[in-house]
């Protein structure tokens, strides 16, 4: 049993929440490099078990992190020491792991993409009825996106007229590692549509509202990509260009373009135009992990940078790091598990987001407007 430490957050803590992590590796990875330190920052969590990809990797992780390893997720979820199961493995493995955890009626946090497709998401969410669930769309916990949501709701831009999103990644066209080959397959749930676009559009829709309908065009402009360090090219069926247009509640129009395999580097840009003013948000990388800059303008004046109110950021010392939004997510998970308000996207929200992704695929294949 390993304490994940205490962070100077200024909040009183109760009994630590016992965490079991599926996919925790001594060799690193997102579980070790993001989830564990984010729990430390959030405070009030304790690592009490893990499941590795093999017996050998589980033993190595157990030695490194000082927590017992379990032979299966069923055994981990059944342990009285574990209050929350965190699933940090690749998307194609989520189905069985989530079902095993929800069968034990144990709260579960599953990484995004949640499922392979919308129907899979519906089934998994149904299996979790009555269980506290969380999904790894931590962009919704970003201080800047929560602030943008409140600015729009308070009327900063006036009546919403249009929303424009541009998201660019070097993946899905650039070199790929052996361990990431599954992301090239459009049918495995970890493609650019799910990861790149899903993470980019989700916090935007938190700010401006869910789309009512969608028209989409997609393309695969890199049908073969380099397998890093080998000199070989491997096939890719994932789309690497996604252009979306849709209507928001109230009639405003949203347009979004997700680009993959770009030579000029990654980036994110959001512009919200209204009858009274404009808001703009930019990030140098995926907006759920990279620092976000907000600019605003009223009454035709030039855009100027706006300063985030301190009340939105519980972890200013993490600002600029990949842990910033995830630490805010864990703080809210802890709050909810101790009886507080629900603020983290759950499996039902994951179903909504997967419905949008499937609608984009359907619209691109048929040329029709799809109503959500």
Domain range annotation of the chain? 2-138, 139-319+346-371
Residue 6 pLDDT: 39
CB contact at 8 A, 107 and 330: no
Q: Which CATH number applies to 2-138?
A: 3.40.50.720
CA distance 169 to 127: 34
pTM for the full predicted model: 0.95
Residue 107 pLDDT: 98
Residue-by-residue pLDDT tens, the chain, 372 positions: 555 643 333 334 569 999 999 999 998 899 999 999 999 999 999 999 999 989 999 999 999 999 999 999 999 999 999 999 999 999 999 999 999 999 999 999 999 999 999 999 999 999 999 999 999 999 999 999 999 999 999 999 999 999 999 999 999 999 999 999 999 999 999 999 999 999 999 999 999 999 999 999 999 999 999 999 899 999 999 999 999 999 999 999 999 999 999 988 789 999 999 999 999 999 999 999 999 999 999 998 999 999 999 999 999 999 999 999 999 999 999 999 999 999 999 999 999 999 999 999 999 999 999 999
The owner of tokens 């209507």 is 247
CB contact at 8 A, 24 and 37: no
Where does residue 224 fall: left (phi above 0), alpha (psi -120 to 50 degrees), or beta otherwise? beta
Q: Which CATH number applies to 139-319+346-371?
A: 3.30.360.10
Domain 2-138 and domain 139-319+346-371, same fold? Reply is no
Residue 3 pLDDT: 54
CA distance 82 to 257: 42
């Amino acid at each position: 049993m390993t304490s994940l430490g205490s962070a100077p957050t200024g909040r009183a803590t109760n009994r630590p929440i016992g965490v079991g992590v599926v996919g925790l590796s001594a060799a690193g990875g997102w579980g070790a490099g993001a989830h564990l330190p984010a729990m430390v920052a959030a405070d009030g969590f304790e690592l009490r078990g893990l499941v590795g990809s093999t017996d050998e990797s589980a033993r190595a992780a157990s030695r490194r992190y000082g927590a017992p390893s379990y032979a299966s997720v069923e055994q981990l979820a059944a342990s009285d020491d574990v209050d929350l199961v965190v699933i940090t493995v690749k998307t194609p493995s989520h189905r069985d792991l989530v079902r095993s955890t929800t069968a034990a009626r144990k709260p579960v946090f599953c990484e995004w993409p949640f499922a392979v497709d919308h129907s899979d998401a519906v089934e998994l969410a149904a299996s979790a009825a009555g269980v506290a669930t969380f999904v790894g769309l931590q962009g919704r916990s970003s201080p800047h996106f929560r602030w943008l949501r409140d600015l729009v709701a308070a009327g900063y831009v006036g009546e919403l007229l249009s929303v424009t999103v541009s998201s660019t990644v070097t993946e899905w066209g650039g070199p790929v590692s052996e361990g990431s080959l599954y992301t090239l397959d459009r049918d495995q749930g970890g493609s650019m549509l799910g990861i790149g676009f899903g993470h980019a559009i989700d916090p935007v829709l938190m700010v401006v509202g869910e789309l009512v309908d969608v028209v989409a065009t997609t393309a695969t402009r890199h049908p073969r990509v380099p397998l890093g360090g080998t000199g070989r090219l491997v096939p890719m069926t994932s789309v690497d260009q996604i252009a979306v247009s849709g209507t928001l509640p109230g009639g405003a129009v949203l347009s979004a373009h997700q680009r993959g395999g770009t030579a000029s580097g990654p980036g994110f840009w959001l512009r919200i135009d209204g009858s009274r003013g404009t808001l703009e948000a930019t990030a140098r990388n995926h907006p759920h992990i990279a620092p976000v800059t907000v600019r605003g303008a009223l009454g035709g004046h030039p855009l100027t940078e706006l300063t985030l109110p301190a009340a939105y950021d519980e972890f200013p010392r993490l600002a600029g790091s990949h842990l910033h939004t995830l630490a805010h997510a864990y703080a809210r998970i802890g709050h909810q598990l101790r009886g507080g308000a629900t603020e983290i996207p759950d499996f039902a929200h994951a179903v909504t987001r997967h419905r949008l992704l499937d609608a984009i695929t359907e619209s691109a294949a048929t040329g029709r407007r799809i109503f959500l």
